[in-house]
Chains A and B, each alone.
Chain A
Amino acid sequence: MKAGLIQDPMVEAMGNFMTRLSRRQQVVASNIANIDTPGYETRDVSFHLTMQEILSGDSLPLKTRKPEGGLLQGWTPIPSEPEVFETSGLPMRADRNNVDIDREMLKLSETSFTYAVATQLLRGKFRTISSAIQEGRSG
């Protein structure tokens, strides 16, 4: 990875992360819109796995793995589209819909909050660069 101001791995990783978060927001919006649609199954974006990879440090740029994969196997390079899967194990209603509104609302605020954290981190990064450009006179 080239080390530069803009090709910074952290910036790139955060970009990927935010793309994935906004994809997740789409999927959650889709789940909420279909709360009363018979036969609709809850979907989710593999997201916590991605967070774990970020924390594990050496996996930049972001990678993903299949949710059913083992702990240390099944790692694949990041696809352009984050993986979307149908959540299993949720209790299904009589109309074969398994959207749990509380769960979706929780995911909604969780995604929104995490996105805010990511933007704050990026903002800090660009502030640092800005500070360097202005020789530390003002942020």
Chain B
Amino acid sequence: MSLMTAIEVSASGLTAQRRRLEVLISNLVNANTTRPAGTEPYRRKDVVFTASEPQGSFESAFGEAMGAVRGVEITQVVADRGEPARRYEPGHPHADKDGYVLYPNINAMEEMVNILSATRSYEANVQATTAAKEMAVKTLDIAR
């Protein structure tokens, strides 16, 4: 049923945005994570969204023309290649021989803004699901 496809598509959006939120939060909590000198510091991560065929729908199983309707999926989680910040902290256990510690290239403000964006997109998908559900209920009303 076509309204179910709409709900599935929104569900894929919800999943993708939630996973993005998880990645963003892990960036935020690791903003001050250091690693022993000589090893790669924690790097900011971000997700890559790609439009996808809605999964497991009745229509797609029968190869019906679903071309225009796309769900979304995360195809990749990529590490930011930006330079880590070097801070002079000679007493730090992770400091190198010159006394510098590598901190991740994470800007807390930037992460907060991205988290807001993910939250709003999630809410928009919730709204879309609710609207499709209401339409399905209205259809039942015809026979009442």
Which residues of chain A have a CB within 8 Å of any CB of chain B? Answer: 18-19, 21-23, 25-30, 32-38, 40, 43, 81, 84, 101, 104-105, 108-109, 111-112, 115-116, 119, 122-123, 126
Q: Which 10 pairs from chain A and chain B are nearest by CB?
A: A33-B13, A84-B68, A37-B49, A29-B6, A29-B9, A26-B6, A112-B131, A119-B138, A22-B2, A33-B72
B5 near A: Cβ within 8 Å?
A: yes
C-alpha spacing A105/B120, complex, angstroms: 12
Q: Is A37's CB under 8 angstroms from B72's CB?
A: yes
Shortest C-beta distance, A44 to chain B (Å), equals 9
Q: Is A32's CB under 8 angstroms from B134's CB?
A: no
Question: DSSP majority for the A interface?
Answer: helix
C-alpha spacing A122/B139, complex, angstroms: 10
Question: Which A residues lie within 8 Å of B67 (CB)?
Answer: 84
Question: Which B residues lie within 8 Å of A26 (CB)?
Answer: 2-3, 5-6, 9, 69
Question: Which B residues lie within 8 Å of A29 (CB)?
Answer: 6-7, 9-10, 13, 69, 125, 128-129, 132
Q: Is A115's CB under 8 angstroms from B13's CB?
A: no
Question: Which B residues lie within 8 Å of A101 (CB)?
Answer: 120-121, 124
Q: Is B71's CB under 8 angstroms from A33's CB?
A: yes
Report 26 cross-chain contacts, Cβ distance below 8 Å, ordered by A residue: A18-B139, A22-B2, A22-B6, A26-B9, A28-B6, A29-B10, A29-B128, A30-B69, A32-B13, A32-B128, A33-B72, A34-B51, A35-B13, A36-B20, A36-B49, A36-B117, A37-B49, A43-B68, A84-B68, A105-B124, A112-B134, A115-B138, A116-B134, A119-B138, A123-B142, A126-B142
B14 nearest in chain A by CB position: A33
Question: DSSP majority for the B interface?
Answer: helix
C-alpha spacing A116/B68, complex, angstroms: 24
C-alpha spacing A105/B131, complex, angstroms: 10
C-alpha spacing A81/B144, complex, angstroms: 28
